[in-house]
Structure 1
């Protein structure tokens, strides 16, 4: 009888928590998503029926262009407040075809295209006819620089050219939004107040990265020029790369499983995404 009454009390407590779930006074980020902690008035819910853990809302559906609230920290995992992420930049529906087009455009554009072979006019050698046309029973040749001879020319070989392909600006911009939204949905986007480090020692960055969960490759994005201490501290780590916000791109985001952005970098990216495209 005592056990059944306890179950009834617990069940009524859960119902009360559901009833007052709308009264949230503080928003934090669990899995770096927007969640809420209840702070009911005294005397409304018996304290013995409440758990000490915060009530977390169920996982939301992504790609709804809704503004997100994320927690702002630093390298020491100190609480630096909250920040709102624009929904039209960090909550865009995931489209693999757009990502494929943007990555293909990036890789084609960065090819040097300096491969070159020599044509018959560029090969070093004499222009004299090697032997007479008739009477020797041999094939008719007019030069020894032809492709059929050793050290001769290469026919239809590659020449220096650009491998770049065209891609609309709106597609490139959409690809960056999708990449940022994908990292946000995975809980792999961290927002820092700033990227200041106490010294240029590499061991500091190694300790910071080792404390992060499920992080193998880290991309750090700052708003303006990269701090010299941070640049020196990360230049010997193959799994940590640093970029300014102007250099943030889809391929770099996909190459790293965790993205760290400063508050200034987030503001600059959002401003860039909201700027009209000049045609």
Structure 2
């Protein structure tokens, strides 16, 4: 059982809420979360880096000079990796960086990462109605009232997509807005403060509760 502070739109503390998530054992928690983080970062790689070997570089078909008698080292192609303009030795080629991880283990890592940030989680009453028109300045001021420093990174988790909140948050450098169904280990660990709405907290327990 984990406890969090609940604040209203003005930033006043109006109570506390609890949530329950099954997390990994203390001795294996960091290992599971680390594996999920490495998997997420690896799976985000495009793997499109490519270099040409000596056989793929244009030219180099003719032997530059005869084998013997010139006094110079023997050479068979001007596209040798030792020459300027030649091929690349052991350079990168397109590849797949994806790492597989069982769904149960992925969800365990998510729950463990979320629960580990309990001291930095702020539950805020639903505020969609405040953004009938997008207003970035109002959102920035509200985040400051909720106890998040303007220079620190804030992760804002909502239950449902709100166009007004989305448009207000998208241009704020240190604020990232995600839905509860798009929870991921990297964002949870990268943020300094995590701001959650009650509907998002309920959805996290419903989807990832285990």
Q: Same fold (TM over 0.5)?
A: yes
RCO comparison, higher one (Cα < 8 Å, 6+): 2
User: Which residue is equivalent to 2:111?
Assistant: 177
CA contact (8 A) 2:9 2:125 kept: no
User: Which residue is equivalent to 2:177?
Assistant: 242
Q: Name the count of aligned residue pairs.
A: 204
Indicate the SS of the match to 2:45.
coil
User: Which residue is equivalent to 1:189?
Assistant: 121
User: Which residue is equivalent to 1:220?
Assistant: 156
CA distance in 2, matches of 1:71, 1:164: 38
Q: Any stretches of 5+ residues in structure 1 without a counterpart? A: 1-65
Give me the CA root mean square deviation.
2.5
User: Which residue is equivalent to 1:159?
Assistant: 93
CA distance in 1, matches of 2:41, 2:22: 26
Q: 1:191 to 1:202 in 2, by over 3 A?
A: same
Q: CA deviation at 1:136?
A: 2.4
Structure 1 residues 85-124: aligned runs within 5 Å: 85-88=19-22, 94=26, 95-124=29-58
Q: Of 195, 206, 210, which aligns to 1:260?
A: 195
Q: 1:195 to 1:250 in 2, by over 3 A?
A: farther
CA contact (8 A) 1:106 1:251 kept: yes
User: Which residue is equivalent to 1:127?
Assistant: 61
Q: CA deviation at 1:152?
A: 0.5
CA distance in 2, matches of 1:157, 1:221: 41
CA contact (8 A) 1:93 1:178 kept: no
Q: Any stretches of 5+ residues in structure 2 without a counterpart? A: none
CA contact (8 A) 1:195 1:222 kept: no
Show CA shifts across 1:31-89 (max 9, x none). xxxxxxxxxxxxxxxxxxxxxxxxxxxxxxxxxxx3x4655444334677765412436
Indicate the SS of the match to 1:88.
coil
Q: CA deviation at 1:102?
A: 1.8
User: Which residue is equivalent to 1:138?
Assistant: 72
CA distance in 2, matches of 1:274, 1:210: 30
CA distance in 2, matches of 1:116, 1:102: 27
